[in-house]
Structure 1
Amino acid sequence: MKVGVISDTHGLLRPEALAALEGCALIVHAGDIGKPEVLEALAALAPLRVVRGNNDLALLWAQGLPDVDRFEVQGWQVLLVHDLADVPAHLDQGVQWVITGHSHKPLIERREGCLYLNPGSAGPRRFSLPVTLALIEVGADALVPEIVPLLAANPLKATSR
């Protein structure tokens, strides 16, 4: 199963992002959405899980969005929050995959048996950071995440078990 993870679009949904997310069985947006049209376009591609980010807090249309979401993907327990600082120091039992955004810095990291994934920012370029999203192949016994540059070639791959 292919899962797409996107964050920090800040109202900009690039055609390259839509193309990269085609064929995903699920799309996750880790906040700082910017405009409801972003979610509408993503939901047209696949089922969508989303949390609001700090820049979404004052937006009336985003008031109903959760700050935290916990769900399951093919048996993997997922915790979704916008800011890594909002992840509890001690994760609830069973959480195997943490998805965050906010920093605009792509990250694939294992911590105490848990995959931490930040897809980076897919919206307007900030600072000198890359414009990216993430794709994850989800299997019964492995999560295989990949950071996908949207404005350059050569994706970065990592395997997590």
Structure 2
Amino acid sequence: MKKILLLSDTHGYLDDTILKRANEVDEIWHAGDIGNLRVTDQLAKIKPIRAVYGNIDDAKTRLQFPEHNEFEIEGVKVFITHIGGYPGRYNPKIRPLLEKSKADLFICGHSHILKVMRDKRLDLLHMNPGAIGIHGFHKVRTMLSFEVNKGSIENLIVLEYPR
């Protein structure tokens, strides 16, 4: 079993709230718009981090992290990208990649809108943790915590903080 902290759209922002939660998990996953490598560098000092770059990220960030990150953990195939859409409205560039990947869990960011929903057609769970940074239109800062255990996603918690 692995405990995961899933965040996105930090836009260079990191605070004690995020760091506290990072200490409580086994891995940190970042779905893009990191904003500054100091964010991922500091998080990586706490726990292993898996991340993708987002549309605001600079060339240095794009050299360090991929556009798409596919991996398997605890029997769950994961596909992470920044701009992905959601079931029924996937980014046209992402849909064929998703179909090919046969992912169990599809994660993206970008919208600043937290969503967790099932895609029955592709037989996967979609997660967007919203935005934990302070830049953007969102009124509440959000991220997700969950466990990956023997092929399933368990104990999903929505973490909300005032902006």
Residues 34-63 of structure 1 show CA distances to partners (whole Å, capped at 9, x for unaligned) of 11110011111211111100001xx23213
- 5+ long unaligned stretches in structure 1: 153-161
Residues 60-95 of structure 1 show CA distances to partners (whole Å, capped at 9, x for unaligned) of 321312101101111100000001125315522531
Normalising by structure 1, report the TM-score: 0.86
- 5+ long unaligned stretches in structure 2: 85-90
Aligned-residue CA RMSD (Å): 1.7
CA distance in 1, matches of 2:139, 2:150: 33
CA distance in 1, matches of 2:31, 2:151: 24
Aligned to 2:162: 151
- Does structure 2 conserve the Cα–Cα contact (< 8 Å) formed by 1:14 and 1:122? no
CA distance in 2, matches of 1:63, 1:40: 14
Normalising by structure 2, report the TM-score: 0.85
Aligned to 2:88: none
The count of corresponding residues between Structure 1 and Structure 2 is 150
1:40-79 to 2 correspondence within 5 Å?
A: 40-56=41-57, 59-64=58-63, 65-79=65-79
Measured after TM superposition, the shift of residue 102 of structure 1 is 0.2
The 3-state SS of whatever aligns with 1:88 is helix
Q: 2:128 aligns with which of 101, 112, 118?
A: 118
- Does structure 2 conserve the Cα–Cα contact (< 8 Å) formed by 1:104 and 1:126? yes
- Does structure 2 conserve the Cα–Cα contact (< 8 Å) formed by 1:67 and 1:82? yes
CA distance in 2, matches of 1:126, 1:92: 32
- Does structure 1 conserve the Cα–Cα contact (< 8 Å) formed by 2:131 and 2:138? no
Q: Which protein is richer in helix relative to its size?
A: 2
Q: Which protein is richer in strand relative to its size?
A: 2
CA distance in 1, matches of 2:33, 2:71: 20
CA distance in 1, matches of 2:162, 2:20: 12
Structure 1 segments, 4+ long, off by >4 Å, are none
